[in-house]
Structure 1
């Protein structure tokens, strides 16, 4: 029988606010899409169908916005709830060198984790100091196009700085006039989330070269980013390669375009089970840029060469900082 560890009653108010903030964030990932769709359907079936019709027209006219830079809102990115969200873990953004705002950049973010907490906290809110660390640069976090198919949710997602991860979307960001735009891509994607569990150092990278081609075509400097602690936030049901659970998850991923990791961690009033992440610190290290010369038609050999250099730089970034953030000398990245 599992012993339940209940949270103490006399928890400081600021910690309660942090828990509420993270609960809200988890809710948006797991249930907000269904709620938004439900509201839209209810509006259609009720006396407010004309509002639904107007919004439907808006969707038709605005459908491509998630692929053309989105529509960020500084007010949403500065909501106080995101400060509490940052402090829950807490999340730290650390730079290793200055980035010249005269250039465009493509950040490769690793690892995916279960819910990409580090990427959201650092690039979709204003509370980890991104603007102070990298003045003149604007990050765009690319996520699955799936999230922009839901009414109302798409507006909310774009307001935080989220855009589609389609080729058209990345091309738009990296083609903006002037400079200072950053495409932030979680390279491992949905497949990597199925590997996310404490202690995991497995990255889905060997066969992911699309971002390399885009960086070459647009002359965007490549920057490896490793987020220590990302995989420590949740436990996950055992799903080794070849298992029934993993086969079902892979099949659903291919059908729906996103993965369904069976994760668990802690609850609101107890620490033994639930869907809230553990309070584990996240340290997101932004590495040094790999200078990329623009090449409109890169060859396979050129793509492979730059891809290997990127992996070497990513591995070097990890090895340089791992001891400082709790990884043993025996811990090494595994590229799949």
Structure 2
């Protein structure tokens, strides 16, 4: 599954398809269809429920979906592990996803880290390169959390506060090519903006090949910076959080500028909102 090699300034990981040893197109599309199609399928169920079912049946369907949210397949489930491994193995080779780690030796399997992954875009699909079942990073388990609204890094400091309270290193991560894998559209106007703020989420339409959940095949490069060590502080002040957040933003900007030319984005400018 994994090919790795040293490169100037760090370690490079790639899926084997590039070397003729891994996933074929069918396996990659099937993996992405299972993973990303589930999102579209659930959206379709909710829309169908509200539009076509009587109230009593709609409540039954929504109740069932709510129950399934609280009965996840955990990491000990054999079927869940096999399915997740299949998705992680073949999804990376589809685009393909390449992982650049500046200092692989800085990551220890017995420590916890807080990764700040940017940009979110429509769906942060490149984050699959960091998953434990993908086999790139030397970490036994990775969990993904997202804020209730997308892509405003300057005012999103909760992940920094968590890192400070737990005393875990903060890791800047940037994915080049993330914004090219889906086309998307959202309504404009003040009414839609007010609605988005009220529900704390921005509804958008997005699609890939032929409008399907399958994204466009565009190479993604996930660049992982060096961990930023933080002193454990169970009750950080807002000023302390802002200072650590500024340190993270600066590290992310430096990471972007350092790698953009060698990856093929020399003219790309980073604007942090």
Scaled by the length of structure 1, what TM-score is found?
A: 0.60
| Compared CA separation, residues 124 and 288, structure 1 to 2 (3 A) | closer
Q: Distance in 2 between matches of 1:314 and 1:215?
A: 16
Partner of 1:217: 165
Structure 1's unaligned 5+ residue stretches are 1-12, 144-164, 166-188, 193-203, 268-272
Return the match for 2:244 from 306, 316, 334: 306
Partner of 2:183: 235
Alignment of 1:96-245 (within 5 A): 96-97=102-103, 98=105, 99-119=107-127, 121-124=128-131, 126-127=133-134, 129-130=135-136, 133-135=137-139, 137-143=140-146, 190-192=149-151, 204-237=152-185, 245=188
Partner of 2:205: 262
Alignment of 1:61-76 (within 5 A): 63=70, 71-72=74-75, 73-76=80-83
> Residues 178 and 220 of structure 2 are in contact (CA less than 8 Å); yes or no, is this contact kept in structure 1?
yes
> Residues 171 and 226 of structure 2 are in contact (CA less than 8 Å); yes or no, is this contact kept in structure 1?
yes
Q: Distance in 2 between matches of 1:124 and 1:247?
A: 38
Deviation of residue 88 (structure 1)?
1.4
| Compared CA separation, residues 249 and 289, structure 1 to 2 (3 A) | farther
Q: Distance in 2 between matches of 1:285 and 1:326?
A: 13
Tell me how many residue pairs correspond in the alignment: 237
Q: Distance in 2 between matches of 1:304 and 1:230?
A: 27
| Compared CA separation, residues 109 and 118, structure 1 to 2 (3 A) | same
> Residues 132 and 141 of structure 2 are in contact (CA less than 8 Å); yes or no, is this contact kept in structure 1?
no
Matched, 1:324 2:262: yes
**Residues 263-320 of structure 1: CA distance to partner in whole angstroms, max 9, x if unpaired?**
34422xxxxx555321001111111000010111212221111111110101111111
Aligned-residue CA RMSD (Å): 3.4
Q: Distance in 2 between matches of 1:326 and 1:246?
A: 35
> Residues 88 and 131 of structure 2 are in contact (CA less than 8 Å); yes or no, is this contact kept in structure 1?
no
| Compared CA separation, residues 24 and 138, structure 1 to 2 (3 A) | closer
Deviation of residue 37 (structure 1)?
10
Deviation of residue 224 (structure 1)?
0.6
Q: Partner of 2:145: helix, strand, or coil?
A: strand
Deviation of residue 78 (structure 1)?
1.4
Q: Distance in 1 between matches of 2:171 and 2:208?
A: 31
Return the match for 1:86 from 88, 92, 97: 92
Partner of 1:17: 27
Q: Distance in 1 between matches of 2:141 and 2:29?
A: 29
| Compared CA separation, residues 37 and 249, structure 1 to 2 (3 A) | closer
> Residues 205 and 335 of structure 1 are in contact (CA less than 8 Å); yes or no, is this contact kept in structure 2?
yes
**Residues 64-94 of structure 1: CA distance to partner in whole angstroms, max 9, x if unpaired?**
x88xxx8224223212x44332221112223
Partner of 1:184: none
Scaled by the length of structure 2, what TM-score is found?
A: 0.72
